[in-house]
Amino acid sequence: MSELILHHYPQSPFAEKARMMLGFKGLAWRSVSIPAIMPKPDLTALTGGYRRTPVLQIGADIYCDTAAIARRLEQQQPTPALFPAGLEAVVTSIAQFADQILFQHGVAINFQPHGVAERFKDASEAVIKAFVADRKALFEKGNANRLQPSQALSQWPTLLGRLERQLGQRGSFLFGEEPCIADFAYYHPLWFVASNAAVANALDPYPQVRSWMDAVAACGHGEPSDMDAAEAIEIARQSTPTGLPDTAFSDPAGFEPGQAIAVAAVDYGGDEVAGTLIFQDEESIVIRREDDRAGTVHVHFPRFGFRMTART
Ligand SMILES: N[C@@H](CCC(=O)N[C@@H](CS)C(=O)NCC(=O)O)C(=O)O
């Protein structure tokens, strides 16, 4: 079976979510380093234009968004379960809340002036300017607005206070004695705050949250080993995408397999990825595309949070 290849960079909170899920599953994986800002020519050779971080590659199958990555990892290694039986609706809904709302808070808290000064203390003026311009462009394609630090600070005690009380009363993890997808989604925005010395004190009033974070962090990152981007692209070129199951799924919007479409995230980083729709079900959309460097690849997206547009 092909290796798991994660395209990511160290400081990315969503990449940390993916690394932690790999650790939770006890998996070995290959680590390809990608730039934190555009251009990302090696990544987009695989994805067809999707630029967000992280992306999982297995041979010629490319998984965009940690929601798609989580489901693929669950298939790879069903236990321990990210989606505990009987709790799927609640754990995925809570994860979605954390990935959107808590994440916005973690970012806004980091991007207070003293947080920016700490995060970029070793960066040149040019690097900071390029980063700011890149993130402005990221939000131009999508319907999400950035949360202002003042609003994030105002709401932080609500979000963290609820978590602190729940953990104090129930202990362990969010849904029982083992972590699940909800824990990893709650963890990565808080890890982003904890990893910035200038703002980490936002966690000080919450000792239960801190010990839960330590318990989640104990899952580790599995067994990563480095790989070059060129090697990852060559692996895609030499691989055949895996077969897809037959599905009786009927798309309410009328998109049919074989149709030329483009897929894009609706919230931010909404660069369109064009290809042929080859599979969709309740959770996923898969397109086939040809790339000069990567050959024939299947690019997998979550259905929720992505839109399809017909191409002629
Ligand atoms: N819903 C996406 C969100 C991914 C995301 O927002 N990643 C951030 C980094 S933590 C990003 O892509 N930033 C811009 C970039 O890395 O180019 C997921 O679950 O993977």
Pocket probe for ligand 1: among 42, 50, 53, 304, the residue whose CB has the most ligand atoms within 8 Å is 53
| Rounded Cα–Cα distance for residues 155 and 106 (Å) | 11
Q: Are 166 and 69 in a shared domain?
A: no
Q: Are 95 and 197 in a shared domain?
A: yes
Q: Are 96 and 46 in a shared domain?
A: no
15: helix, strand or coil: helix
Dump pLDDT digits (tens) for 89-135: 999 999 999 999 999 999 999 999 999 999 999 999 999 999 999 99
Q: Are 189 and 213 in a shared domain?
A: yes
Residue 47 near residue 273 (C-beta atoms within 8 A): yes
- Among the atoms of ligand 1, which is closest to the Cα of residue 192? 10
- Domain span at residue 260 reads 4-80+223-310
Q: What mean pLDDT, rounded, does the chain reach?
A: 97
Q: Whose CA is nearest to atom 15 of ligand 1?
A: 52
Q: Are 232 and 303 in a shared domain?
A: yes
Q: Is the pLDDT of residue 142 over 90?
A: yes
| Rounded Cα–Cα distance for residues 23 and 17 (Å) | 10
Q: Report the domain count for the chain.
A: 2
- Among the atoms of ligand 1, which is closest to the Cα of residue 51? 17
Q: Are 199 and 117 in a shared domain?
A: yes
Measured in degrees and rounded to the nearest 5, phi and psi for residue 203 equal -95, -10
Measured in degrees and rounded to the nearest 5, phi and psi for residue 116 equal -65, -45
Q: Whose CA is nearest to atom 6 of ligand 1?
A: 52
Domain boundary, last residue among 217, 243, 276: 217
Ordered strands of the 295-302 beta sheet:
223-226, 28-33, 4-8, 55-58, 61-64, 295-302, 284-291, 273-280, 260-265, 306-310
Q: Are 120 and 200 in a shared domain?
A: yes
Dump pLDDT digits (tens) for 200-253: 999 999 999 999 999 999 999 999 999 999 999 999 999 999 999 988 899 999
Q: Are 190 and 134 in a shared domain?
A: yes
Q: Is the pLDDT of residue 1 over 60?
A: no
Domain boundary, last residue among 190, 217, 244: 217
Tell whether pTM > 0.75.
yes
Domain boundary, last residue among 184, 202, 217: 217
Pocket probe for ligand 1: among 50, 52, 104, the residue whose CB has the most ligand atoms within 8 Å is 52
Instruction: Report whether residue 289 contacts ligand 1, using a CB cutoff of 6 Å.
Output: no
Q: Are 150 and 246 in a shared domain?
A: no
The mean pLDDT of 74-80, rounded to a whole number, is 98
The CATH number given to whatever domain includes residue 28 is 3.40.30.110
| Rounded Cα–Cα distance for residues 64 and 277 (Å) | 15
Q: Pick from 102, 124, 75, 91: which is nearest to 284 by CA? A: 75
